[in-house]
Chains A and B, each alone.
Chain A
Amino acid sequence: RKEVEQDPGPFNVPEGATVAFNCTYSNSASQSFFWYRQDCRKEPKLLMSVYSSGNEDGRFTAQLNRASQYISLLIRDSKLSDSATYLCAVNNNDMRFGAGTRLTVKP
């Protein structure tokens, strides 16, 4: 079983839709959590950290559920520019990445 698992998608949604991604992790001792965005043929870029209390940045909301060992990312009012692959990352000294969930937002 992979340490960090994501639904690979693709998720195809219309502009303005709300979309949610989940990511599960197997190491209960994991200390910190992140969401990265990766555009085609580019490097991953930090989207947001995921704090224990949950956090929001504009249209993006990240949540952590330690009991069930998953993190989530909610994108509201999707824009065309949100089309990308979203990687979750779980840190327990070494960062472990999910394989990514591909999102396409269509007009």
Chain B
Amino acid sequence: NAGVTQTPKFQVLKTGQSMTLQCAQDMNHNSMYWYRQDPGMGLRLIYYSASEGTTDKGEVPNGYNVSRLNKREFSLRLESAAPSQTSVYFCASSEARGGLAGGRGYEQYFGPGTRLTVT
């Protein structure tokens, strides 16, 4: 199993350009997520898809759109890139959202990330 895969690994864009980050998982997970990670800020949720056919905004959705293409694939689109979107982007998946009894919950598994620079 490859787990969670992302493409591309690196990308440099000029301000105003658009691009789509691709993510796929082969773990038959229902839920998928897009995060960005900036120094000192930790991981912040951009968008998530709780199940195939649904998508919802996370903490920092402005400037992004997503598509849950099928159960395996979840893409993130930057329509008009801005320097503030320079970051490392991680896709993640989990069996489901939410928690279980006794402090247990659904672990998230991450892809290798995309390093995006917007100049």
Contacts and interface: CB of A to CB of B under 8 A. Distances in A.
B58 interface: yes
A30 B111 CA distance: 25
Interface in B73-101: 90, 97-100
Nearest to B44: A97
Contacts of A91: 98-99, 105-106
A43 B102 contact: no
How extensive is the interface on chain B, given as a class?
20 to 34
Contact of B110 (A2, A45, A64): A45
A34 B105 contact: yes
B53 interface: no
Interface in A31-51: 31-34, 42-46, 49-51
A94 B113 CA distance: 20
B43 interface: yes
Contacts of B40: 8, 99
A104 to B, nearest CB: 17
B50 to A, nearest CB: 9
Nearest to B39: A99
How extensive is the interface on chain A, given as a class?
20 to 34
A92 interface: yes
A93 interface: yes
Contact of A44 (B59, B90, B97): B90
Closest 8 CB pairs of A and B: A32-B105, A31-B99, A52-B103, A99-B42, A43-B110, A97-B43, A32-B99, A97-B42
22 contacts: A32-B99, A32-B105, A34-B107, A42-B113, A44-B43, A46-B108, A49-B105, A51-B103, A53-B102, A64-B103, A91-B105, A91-B106, A92-B99, A94-B45, A94-B48, A94-B97, A95-B108, A97-B42, A97-B43, A97-B44, A98-B42, A99-B40
Interface of B: 33, 35, 40-45, 48, 58-59, 90, 97-100, 102-113
